Structure formats: C-alpha cells, structure tokens
Amino acid sequence: MLKMVVKVRRKGVLILPKALRERVGIEEGDEVVAEVVGESIVLKPLKPRVVDVDVEKVYEIVREEKKEWDVRLDALAGKAGA
C-alpha cells in the first residue's frame, strides 16, 4: 500500500504526487471520481470501458425493434382511421 501526505491548497486544490498517479494510472487531463466512504474521501480514476460490440447483432436487434414498432404504429393508424 502506498500512502502519502497531501496538502489541501487554496480552493481545495490537491496536487497528487507522481508516484500516486502512476500507481493507479492517472495522467494529466484524466478525470477522477471522488466519493465519501465513512469518514474518508476516496479518489478513483474514471476510465471508460472499451467493449467489443458485434455490429451485425446490433443491426439485427434494431431491425427487429423497428418491425415491432411498425406493427404497433399500423395498428394505431388503423384505429385512428376507423
């Protein structure tokens, strides 16, 4: 476990030492999530998750949903015209 003392500066600014940033992969410009846990403040790097997506599967799902909506809309149009 790596622990360091960090001074709170004007307007609550903290400077995270390089060793801490490197340990968790925080780089300049990155965002962090700050949360209160009990009596502590926990900072965690906010890293987007990269997910592999089967594009063809997404298109298939969208086509199926479109068909369902077309059926619903046709039914509503039929009721409105009746």
Residue 12 reports pLDDT greater than 90: yes
Taking only the tens place, the pLDDT of each residue in 39-63 is 999 999 998 778 889 999 999 999 9
Question: What total number of domains does the chain contain?
Answer: 2
In a domain, 25, yes or no: yes
Identify whether residues 35 and 55 lie together within a single domain.
no
Band (81; pLDDT cuts 50, 70, 90): confident
Q: Quick one: how far is CA 48 from the chain centroid? A: 6
**Residue 38 sits in which domain range?**
10-46
Residue 22 reports pLDDT greater than 80: yes
In a domain, 17, yes or no: yes
Separation in Å, CA 25 to CA 15, 28, 29, 36: 15, 10, 12, 21
Identify whether residues 17 and 34 lie together within a single domain.
yes
Asked if 10 and 4 touch (Cβ cutoff 8 Å), the reply is: no
Average pLDDT of the residues in 10-17: 94
Identify whether residues 56 and 40 lie together within a single domain.
no
**Which pLDDT score is estimated for 50?**
82
Closest C-alpha among 34, 31, 50 to residue 42 = 34
